[in-house]
Amino acid sequence: MNPLSQKIALLIESARLQVAKSINMAMVSTYYNIGKLIIENIQEGEKRAKYGKKVLQLISLEITKKFGRGFSVQNLERMRNFYQTYSNSSNTLRNSKVYQKSSNALRVSINKNNILILLPLSWSHYLFLIRIKNESERQFYEIEAYTNQWILSELERQFNSGLYERLSLSKNKTNILKLSQEGQIIKTPQDIIKDPLILEFLGLEEKSSYSETDLETAIINRIEFFMLELGKGFFFGGRQVRFTFDEEHFFIDLVFYNRLLQCFVLIDLKIGKLKHQDIGQMQMYINYYDRFVKKENENQTIGIIICKDKKDAIIEITLPKDNKQLFATKYQTILPSKEQLKQLIEKNK
């Protein structure tokens, strides 16, 4: 394709993308307002339940006859649920900067005095979100899906892996509220740490045993999924990255760079129990990168040991009290129970 054809193709693709976004936003807005009309015209309650069902059936038949598929009784019920869920949203939560800064956000009317802001996500995204009963949790996933441009399957995966609960484990009540208002904000090394990391996408749970090389290879084969699990701002730098010091070769399992923190992130993989020697080895890797690799305008290197088993007491006694560079986190290869994660949050409050 010649240069002019390439420019024209890019222009067409960009236009199509904008059209698709506009159609999607119009669809979400329309479905919200259909739900509003249904709620306003069909009163809730046992006396009106049978009447309401009949009305929805009539509406479904007439609208389907005129516009085709997509307006079954079930879908009309979903539109009603969509309106009910979001028209009752807390103004405190939805007044966050994310909503105010989004130039593509939808503004739909709740009543004469209130306007609801919806982030530009697909109807399929919102159908999934309205199933989340906890409003703070629902808004967190709405913000993260928007800011990270998650497709529906990634949104489902992050929800099923308990991302909200895992991030909440290390935060107090005030910071959990911020999580719901702003999503995950990366300002300090601690902000990128998840404990545990959920690596169910590697498929290793099917094996009775595997080596650290197996784990590393599985991660490399699914590197995009692994980086999504790590979180925001990561760029992959290499596998088994070698450096030589005092005529001896050392190999770092995985090297990343985080553009939000502007620093290198070194990862060491351990399939067994974390030992103090492992911590000492990672500290040496960090020291080398800080002294010989990072530039003056970059921040201090972060080291993360991903292990199957760890004891916090070993980590605390090995590392200095003001440690802000070396972290250990567990991994698991099956999806956790959300109930178990919620119990851990309650226990840590």
The CATH number for 262's domain is: 3.40.1350.10
**Does residue 172 fall inside a structural domain?**
no
Condensed to tens digits (0 to 9), the pLDDT of residues 11-34 reads 878 888 777 778 888 999 999 999
Query: Which residue type sits at 17?
Result: L
Whether 13 and 117 map to the same domain: the answer is: yes
Domain assignment present for 68: yes
Contact 134, 93 (CB under 8 A): no
Residue 172, pLDDT above cutoff 90: no
Percent of the chain residues past pLDDT 90, beyond the cut: 52
Question: Are 113 and 203 in a shared domain?
Answer: no
More confident residue, 316 or 197: 197
In a domain, 33, yes or no: yes
Task: Kindly report, residue by residue over 55-95, the tens digit of the pLDDT.
Answer: 888 999 999 999 988 899 999 999 999 999 998 887 656 77
One domain, residues 120 and 39: yes
Select the more confidently predicted residue: 309 or 285.
Answer: 285
**How many CA atoms are closer than 13 Å to the CA of 156, on its beta-carbon side?**
8
The number of domains in the chain is: 2
Question: For the whole prediction, is pTM greater than 0.85?
Answer: no
**What was the pLDDT predicted at 208?**
58
Q: Which residues contact 18 (CB under 8 A, 6 or more apart)?
A: none
Does 288 reside within a domain?
yes
Output the pLDDT for position 46.
Answer: 47
Q: If pLDDT is split at 50, 70 and 90, which confidence band does 111 have?
A: confident
Q: What is the mean pLDDT of residues 173-186?
A: 82
Cis-peptide, bond into residue 196, ω within 30° of zero = yes
Host domain of residue 222: 193-336
Mean pLDDT for the stretch of residues 121-140: 94
- Residue 253 tokens read as 């399992």
The answer to whether residue 41 is domain-embedded is yes
Is residue 167 domain-resident? no
- Which pLDDT belongs to residue 270? 93
Specify the pLDDT at position 238.
Answer: 96
Residue 8's pLDDT band (boundaries 50, 70, 90)?
low
Among 116, 132, 148, the domain boundary falls at 132
Which segment of 88-92, 204-208, 282-286, 331-335 scores lowest on mean pLDDT?
204-208
Q: Rounded mean pLDDT of the chain?
A: 87
> Rounded to an integer, what distance in angstroms lies between the CA atom of residue 200 and that of residue 75?
32
Domain assignment present for residue 145? The answer is no
pLDDT band at 336 (very low <50, low <70, confident <90, very high): confident
Higher pLDDT, 117 or 260: 260
Which of 132, 153, 175 terminates a domain? The answer is: 132
| Cα dist from 249 to 205, 212, 240, 243, whole Å | 33, 19, 11, 6
Q: Is the pLDDT of residue 234 over 80?
A: yes
Rounded distance between C-alpha atoms, residue 123 and residue 82, angstroms: 10
Same domain, 10 and 126: yes
Boundary-marking domain end, from 132, 150, 175: 132
Within 8 A by CB and 6+ apart from 346, the residues are none
Structure confidence by residue, pLDDT tens digits, 303-326 = 999 998 888 788 888 888 888 999
Are residues 94 and 7 part of one domain?
A: yes
